[in-house]
Structure 1
């Protein structure tokens, strides 16, 4: 039986309960010869699940570790909603067996439908490790990672989908902006109802709370993730982003407890750079450079790098960083618009052109193929693909982003910047420096200081940035810019300031 036989194993048939009752009253068929796996398969294909399970169990009495029989028994048990039994059968199949990858995937599907998030991820990851070409396992892991807030880990699986021509516009949207939040609150709650002690769903919940400005809730979720799953680097990265935004006094402790694997996460370097910017701008620039080396499409790192390099006098590289940041922002805006209008050719062309300009040729190819599939009469996909063809490397595999488009590959400017080491982190931990605690390294400069003189000046002002009203997509003033109205709205003889990007939305 091929792997396709098990693709639908977790579809629960309504007739399963009736079959189970029939099995309780009717023993497996009597055959005058030893039962074989073919007998069990025929019963399974005839949807006689209870009889198939009984037959497989009889065979397993004399062939206890036969992977083929275990697969039949597991699928039959699944159809009968005997999930614990099915998982036991799948678990008995060794990694060396031909069926092992499918067995791990099938077990992961059961765990997913039971709401066991960590177990589902564990089984699906094992499946892909055993057979990287099991594309439906990759489909599931993309879905799980997106829901759980592990967006960066989807990249190799999304790349596989593009490289094997399994084109879906959702994959292009996902890979186009790995920073976009895709955690699903209802699904995360389902996981916690099924297994309240599983810490993994708290990562997605923490990210959602942080996006909504609910910092205390986000901290509770993310600190639990880091405490219970200390080797999950994404948890540390998200906690660092939260501390940077709302609890800067916690950054020294955050840095001290990072696992060694955190060195490979771009968001960790971004947080370090932001933390160091006011006090050690050169070291901050190196942190942003490291973030970009790990992720050449990291928008905030490019924006921050452009600012700090201007301060350091590296104006040429700062200009390049700013230009790439603008291109990345333009792409993000285009993708947000495509979310709402997935068949509008001008937007698809814009995505293709921007990904080409950013050196992301796999995505360029995907957008061109998608547009041509929607409208074969379009001429621009062929023209854009022709320009992309000219950029292909002479040899070797084509990466997600062309090395020639890595900002850190242009000259030796990054290597000339000081890489923060243990002594610097220890210094910061000792001084408990926050983002504005110490004077700048630059001669004659000091961080700005702000004092609230609103009341003393007689100004009545209220600003509501409406962080509680989260919706998908972007409003017009969030893409083209907003404005400020200064009029005497209440006709009291004094000007009133109205900011269109504030206040409750209709």
Structure 2
């Protein structure tokens, strides 16, 4: 008799039969389960490639559910199977499930980019079909964690973050695309500025119709609510997102800012109470929280604390135009004009660049394949001067796409490449161009919300009870000293028509510091002197945020000396800054806001009649063509 295999002992034969069967039962059940699972996964022993081939055949025959079932079987068995992922992604597109398609196709290696899902990188953009923004953003971030340079994942993540209002965070995937060389003019525009709201209400409402609790869609819709001045609606959305996503600094910052925007009598106290609850220091990595604190400090007259908050925000993000300008203003009040100059110059540079981006974006909206070498050069050179070398490279490269031999672009690309060669992971803005890196304000006190002891420290003046609303004339105390001159002539009986109309007032936030400023059109002696009257000028009063105003007419470049009858505010060049259109007896005036605290008279370049009498005016897109009319 032959030898038994090692491990087979005689003791096996003496076990009770019942115990033996009970021990065999579990393995037999497992075998049965595995057999059933193998039948589903393996489809009678077919290989992954054979199943994908069958799925392709079903796809061609329009048996879409069967094809997707086969693709999913392969993915369950071999999660990284490229053929199955591609098939499943294409089937999801065919079925109109863009979210599922992105989830499948982003799992493909970057080298195998699908042709039908190009996002912002090519034609056929269907990103507005996305619905499950939060879930998909999480999947894309995970994919980027495994393959940081993945173009499709970065492209789609940048889009989701942008339309949900997380503009600052969207810069990271946008910058990765630029470093990779996978970008378009649209990516450069999005990377160039991040303070404007670019949410799509139609898309976001569709997301919320599918899931009312979709966090990122609610965040984006909250920003739209703010633009519509629905602060209560916005606050409700932001609060729900902040509660669900306690790690999302953008949501917490939006809650705080909206509390102040809403303007209730207890806004300052409400802010402080909410701010105390944010104990996670990691939230302060986001500059928008520092900006919110700076606004609160300015409301409460805490200039040193406001300066510290603005400085902290700029340390983290040097390209905050409004923050640079506001810090310059605060430093001037604190007697530090030399330090203020650096931040004011940075604000001026950023304002000029944003105007260039506004022109580029307008042209792109009209013609996707647009090219204007002069405008591209302007953008590239502005970026280089600001230390934003990656963007300088991007704009110059775009010029080379349209005109390969253009000398300035070739030289700029070569120059910038040499500087970036030492550090391929260089930040968007070089540290030496960040004024907060060279000016140390760390000795200024931080806000300590835990140390606020009484309501009076944060509440400001007490409000009136409901039903007791009244108005006090505080113009003189607030520093608003203006009297309209209508050129009345006592020697002439009666009054001329233009003496009745007055000049009105325009309310605008010209420096975007969150405080409404006042522009008063002024009359002048009749008849009007050619070139304007030297003694009577329109006036601009800047709201200082403490209940007082300062006459900034001269420093802003305003002061029309003609017989003004009214003014309108609007953003005629769509650069995000409010401009002024002044109605005159004679030629009207259009003043462009430069974004650095000054205005420029751009009337000479416009076809505005030299004669006429305008009693009121309007800045609006009358015909809905996307261009502002006067």
Match of residue 446 from structure 2:
419
CA separation in 1, counterparts of 2:277 and 2:297?
A: 18
The unaligned stretches of length 5 or more in structure 1 are: 1-27, 92-96, 438-447, 490-494
CA separation in 2, counterparts of 1:161 and 1:65?
A: 32
Say which is worse superposed, 136-145 or 67-76, in terms of deviation.
Answer: 67-76
1:268-293: per-residue Cα shift (whole Å, max 9, x none)? 11121122125221111111100000
1:414-464: per-residue Cα shift (whole Å, max 9, x none)? 12222333455x247663335999xxxxxxxxxx95499999xx9977667
Change in CA separation of 1:452 and 1:127 when aligned onto 2, cut-off 3 Å: same
1:198, CA displacement in angstroms?
Answer: 2.2
The reply to whether residue 38 of structure 1 matches residue 64 of structure 2 is no
1:301, CA displacement in angstroms?
Answer: 0.9
Q: Give the aligned length.
A: 441
Whether the 8 Å CA contact 1:43–1:51 is kept in 2: the answer is no
Change in CA separation of 1:212 and 1:334 when aligned onto 2, cut-off 3 Å: farther
1:79, CA displacement in angstroms?
Answer: 2.5
Whether the 8 Å CA contact 2:328–2:344 is kept in 1: the answer is yes
Whether the 8 Å CA contact 1:252–1:428 is kept in 2: the answer is no
1:224, CA displacement in angstroms?
Answer: 2.9
Change in CA separation of 1:422 and 1:168 when aligned onto 2, cut-off 3 Å: same
Change in CA separation of 1:126 and 1:54 when aligned onto 2, cut-off 3 Å: closer
Q: Secondary structure at the match of 2:215?
A: coil
Say which is worse superposed, 153-162 or 66-75, in terms of deviation.
Answer: 66-75
Match of residue 457 from structure 2:
431
CA separation in 2, counterparts of 1:263 and 1:138?
A: 24
Q: What are the residue-to-residue correspondences of 1:266-345 with 2, within 5 Å?
A: 266-277=287-298, 278-341=300-363, 342-345=370-373
CA separation in 1, counterparts of 2:79 and 2:237?
A: 41
Change in CA separation of 1:280 and 1:157 when aligned onto 2, cut-off 3 Å: same
Q: 2:388 aligns with which of 349, 352, 360?
A: 360
1:232-280: per-residue Cα shift (whole Å, max 9, x none)? 2111222333333333433223322335232111111112112212522
- Normalized per residue, which structure has more helix? 1
Q: 1:482 aligns with which of 580, 593, 606?
A: 580
Q: TM-score, normalised by structure 1?
A: 0.73
Whether the 8 Å CA contact 1:345–1:371 is kept in 2: the answer is yes
1:226, CA displacement in angstroms?
Answer: 2.5
CA separation in 1, counterparts of 2:309 and 2:294?
A: 5
Whether the 8 Å CA contact 1:111–1:117 is kept in 2: the answer is no
Q: TM-score, normalised by structure 2?
A: 0.60
CA separation in 2, counterparts of 1:416 and 1:187?
A: 46
Change in CA separation of 1:254 and 1:450 when aligned onto 2, cut-off 3 Å: farther
Q: 1:155 aligns with which of 157, 167, 171?
A: 171
Q: What are the residue-to-residue correspondences of 1:343-354 with 2, within 5 Å?
A: 343-354=371-382
Change in CA separation of 1:484 and 1:68 when aligned onto 2, cut-off 3 Å: closer
Match of residue 252 from structure 2:
236
1:13-44: per-residue Cα shift (whole Å, max 9, x none)? xxxxxxxxxxxxxxx9xx99731112112123
Say which is worse superposed, 168-177 or 66-75, in terms of deviation.
Answer: 66-75
Say which is worse superposed, 322-331 or 252-261, in terms of deviation.
Answer: 252-261
Whether the 8 Å CA contact 1:142–1:154 is kept in 2: the answer is yes
Over aligned residues, Cα RMSD in angstroms?
Answer: 4.6
Match of residue 408 from structure 1:
436
CA separation in 2, counterparts of 1:73 and 1:372?
A: 36
Q: Secondary structure at the match of 2:46?
A: coil
The unaligned stretches of length 5 or more in structure 2 are: 1-38, 118-124, 364-369, 464-475, 484-499, 510-569, 588-612, 623-628
Match of residue 257 from structure 1:
277
